[in-house]
Amino acid sequence: MALFSRLNLVSIVSLAAAVMIVAALGTVGLVMHLVLSERIQADAVSRQNTSLRVAATVVEKDMPGTEISWAQDGNVSRVVMETIPDEITDHSMIDEIGRMTGETVTVFKWDPETKDFWRKTTNIIKPDGSRAVGTKLGQTGAVYPVVTKGETFRGEAVILGTPYFTIYAPIYSPAGDITGILYAGVRKAEITALMNTVTNKLLIAFVPILLVAVGAMALLTRRLLRPIPQIAQAARNIADEAHDVEVPFTERRDEIGAIAKAVEVFRQRAIERQALESERDVSETQTRERQARTQELIAGFRGTVQHLIGTVSETAVGLDQTARELSASAQDSAER
């Protein structure tokens, strides 16, 4: 809130629009990522099933005593093999499966002594360039506990340091014992390459879209809200008693015009109030002047009256003295 309080309306609206556009693009990207992830997972499962079907078919044909049971959906249901050779020197069968599927394929054999499954034939190549024959599955991985229960494992597994999307189908003996594993898998990098490619292209496409959208929204917002700062400045001028300012955009018929008309009414009321205050000041000045003149007249009248009273008093004193003198003269005359 403190940040927004320091921004103007145009900046806030532009920022909000940019955030909404980013959120919308992010949501679209997330949805596309989820859809692609589901599609890639489904594609990985489909490729695993295809590889296992091809591998089971070739193994059934080239390895005597192998019997494949098929599920209603056409995928491998159960693999039964009379025996798995301890040593397989000819790997042409597994290479043929690899050429047909383009994936990795392995036949494991159970070893009662080590209680683990060992690769007898495979087209997986070790980092040194040799075939990964004679390497074990390992008891610590996620595959071992699933397969030893007689279940098919599907999922991601790390094989000789490389992540794969895999399927491990247990191989049964005619007596029903688990004697090996038929494996098919595809490198995770090959599956995720599509997602990475699409994600990179989406990012490349989203950046110019985001820039163009934010720029267009900023220009549109600035164009739409440009009158507001001008109207606000006019309102500030009116508040500072600059009543001669012209309020813009009063001719518009939208909300901007309504705000401008309201500010114009405020300006007219301010002018009227100023005129009334001026008239009141003039009236008060005239009243004070009249009062001052009245006080002057009263003071002059009071001075004149006091002067007259003094003069009359002096005359009365003089007359009284004259009367006394005349009375004395008359008395003196009478005595004579």
| Alpha carbon distance 271, 262 (integer Å) | 14
Task: Enter the tokens of residue 46.
Answer: 């489909």
Task: Report pLDDT digits (tens) over 23-68.
Answer: 887 787 778 778 877 877 777 778 878 888 888 888 888 888 889 8
Q: pLDDT higher for 113 or 315? A: 113
pLDDT above 90: residue 110: yes
pLDDT at 8: 64
- Smallest Cα–Cα separation from 48: which of 163, 166, 144, 156? 166
What does residue 191 show for φ and ψ, rounded to 5 degrees?
-75, -45
| Alpha carbon distance 233, 222 (integer Å) | 16
| Alpha carbon distance 37, 31 (integer Å) | 10
Put residue 40 in one of left, alpha, beta given phi > 0 → left and psi -120 to 50 → alpha: alpha
3-class DSSP state for residue 107? strand
Task: Enter the tokens of residue 159.
Answer: 């094989």
- Smallest Cα–Cα separation from 189: which of 161, 152, 169? 161
Residue type present at position 85: P
pLDDT above 70: residue 1: no
Strands 162-172 and 76-81, bridge-based pairing: parallel
% of the chain surpassing 70 pLDDT: 96
pLDDT at 5: 54
Task: Report pLDDT digits (tens) over 227-286.
Answer: 777 777 778 887 777 777 777 878 878 777 788 888 888 888 877 887 787 788 778 888
Please report which confidence band the pLDDT of residue 115 belongs to, taking 50, 70 and 90 as the band edges. very high
Task: Report pLDDT digits (tens) over 125-180.
Answer: 888 888 889 888 888 888 999 999 999 998 888 777 778 888 899 999 999 999 99
pLDDT at 180: 93
pLDDT at 119: 92
Q: pLDDT higher for 184 or 46? A: 184
The interaxial angle of helices 9-62 and 188-225, nearest 10 deg, is 160
Mean pLDDT, residues 216-233 taken together: 75
Please report which confidence band the pLDDT of residue 15 belongs to, taking 50, 70 and 90 as the band edges. confident
Task: Report pLDDT digits (tens) over 145-156.
Answer: 999 999 999 888
Quote the mean pLDDT of the chain.
81
Task: Enter the tokens of residue 330.
Answer: 């008359």
Contact in structure between 21 and 215 (CB atoms under 8 Å): no
Cα atoms in the Cβ-side hemisphere of radius 13 Å centred on 182: 29
% of the chain surpassing 90 pLDDT: 12
pLDDT above 70: residue 4: no
3-class DSSP state for residue 308? helix
- Smallest Cα–Cα separation from 44: which of 169, 164, 159? 164
